[in-house]
Chain A
């Protein structure tokens, strides 16, 4: 592939992924309110446009028009860096996700993945971990005790659950034998979904994903009853919007990562029997991936509007006393299963 084509194709891919991330995050806010309404026997927003479809636009206009206040006692630079960092890290994670296989146009192959880094999982974890800095810095810079408490909660929660999440991923890496997200997705061709190999790991990963995205039932950093608004108490206008947006992008990325790691990514069983054109097959894959993602996002919302919030000690108990031992057990079991022939041979069966 010529260098110019390569650069243009990558740029287009980046822009498309960015635009889709933004669009989905935007409409996640609408979907959240709609799902919340329906689960609570209400209708949700339905005035702006057909079925309220323009509600996110109205919200965006409102947020942009709002007065921007920066507390005089705050650290102004950090106050601005906080939400920016949050949104930046949220947008960076989409790079290593394989959105589909390859599209062949004019005799060239275009993989639908921006960068198939061979340590994609490590990259993902690195970027997600930086995300907590956005919250931490924002909460610290506000110079408000509620914000600070929210930020402290967020960071301790994310650190505790990252351990369990990382450990559950280690078992996955052991079975797949690769750190590349693209290869993990490709390996799950047909029915070889990782959730069937790693059900416990999948469960732990999903629970940790809830905690990582600060979603209910783990939304302690922003619980209204105790902390007003948590880390974004002092924020207004679009900075507030950035935090909310980052949360929804994180949710979208979490749903994507869960479906890529455990639910086959763009793979769908039996589709090869009906569709034979390679490009069409790729497009079908993209559609399937997004169907899984949307269900994932819906699942996030469904849980949010079903479960009450954890108490803080319960949260820590669950993280350190239940999920981490379970994920270590998962690693041991996976290892034992992988080494079963050697173990059998050693025991002279």
Chain B
């Protein structure tokens, strides 16, 4: 069989020589190995102070995007809820009234939109399903809470702010390649 590494050793039942039987040389060499580890640089990341950078495609807490004018992109079509394998998303749709054009981009919007963060498995299928580029997973992590109720994230948490500094950047996930891929309806993902 092809060995995976060059470190494998064939076990033989040979008698140990006196040098091996004394054990002490082997123990000393073992102790030298541990000592070399003593002075090695530690890979520890001191978490609250130091944070490891997330990968560009990290799937964390969701965001409901607004368009460039600050209107919510979500039209409450429900495709994300259908796509969700954990059935974590619920929403109630409502019709846009006159004078609300600044708030909602399309004629229909989500009056309530909730994600149960305890059910969510952060697969990103909602993001794939969304035809309006409204929902994205971001590199933010879901905060720990003391009670289950706090994990029902409603629109007050999910929707990004209108101000420029409160906008959530999703360019790392919404790349040109992703947009190109989403155009092809023949892929199973985009149906």
Interface residues on A, range: 10 to 19
**Chain A residues, CB < 8 A from B38:** 35, 38-39
Which chain B positions have C-beta within 8 A of A306?
A: 27, 30-31, 33-34
Within 8 Å CB of A41, what residues of B? 37, 40, 42-43
User: How many Å from the CB of A39 to the closest CB on chain B?
Assistant: 5
Of B27, B34, B43, B44, the contact of A39 (CB 8 Å cutoff): B34
Partner of B37, one of A40, A43, A203, A307: A40
Q: What residues of chain B lie closer than 8 Å to A311, measured between beta carbons?
A: none
> What does the 1/0 interface line of A181-196 toward B look like (CB < 8 Å)?
0000000000000000
Q: Shortest Cβ distance from A3 into chain B, in angstroms?
A: 51
Give Cα A302 to B32, complex, Å. Answer: 10
Expressed in whole angstroms, the Cα–Cα distance for A196 and B42 within the complex equals 38
B80 shortest CB reach to chain A, Å: 41
Question: Does A341 reach chain B (CB closer than 8 Å)?
Answer: no
Residues of A within 8 Å of B33, CB to CB, are: 306
Chain B residues with CB under 8 Å of A305's CB are 34
- A340 contacts B by Cβ under 8 Å: no
Instruction: Please tell me if B35 contacts chain A, counting CB pairs below 8 Å.
Output: yes
CA A40 to CA B36, docked complex, whole Å: 10
Q: Given A307-B27, A307-B30: A302 and B44 within 8 A (CB)?
A: no
Contact A303:B31 (CB < 8 A) given known A41-B43, A43-B42, A43-B44: yes
B: number of interface residues (CB 8 Å): 13
Q: Which residues of chain B from 4 to 57 have any CB-CB distance to chain A below 8 Å in the complex?
A: 24, 27, 30-31, 33-35, 37-38, 40, 42-44
Assess whether B34 is in contact with A42, with CB atoms less than 8 Å apart. no
Complex: chain B residue closest to A305, CB-CB: B34
Return chain B residues, CB-CB under 8 Å to A39.
34-35, 37-38
**Contact, CB under 8 Å: B31 / A42:** no
B37 and A38 within 8 A (CB): yes
- Residues from chain A with Cβ under 8 Å of B35 in the complex: 39, 302
Known: A302-B35, A305-B34, A306-B34. A42 touches B27 (CB 8 A): no
Give, as a whole number of angstroms, the nearest-CB distance from A12 to chain B: 38
Interface residues of A (CB under 8 A from B): 35, 38-43, 203, 302-303, 305-307
Q: Which B positions have Cβ atoms within 8 angstroms of A?
A: 24, 27, 30-31, 33-35, 37-38, 40, 42-44
Q: 5 A-B residue contacts at CB 8 Å?
A: A35-B38, A41-B40, A302-B34, A307-B27, A307-B30
Give 16 A-B pairs besides A302-B35, A306-B31, A307-B30 with Cβ atoms closer than 8 angstroms: A38-B37, A38-B42, A39-B34, A39-B35, A39-B37, A40-B37, A41-B40, A42-B44, A43-B44, A302-B31, A302-B34, A303-B27, A303-B31, A306-B27, A306-B33, A307-B27
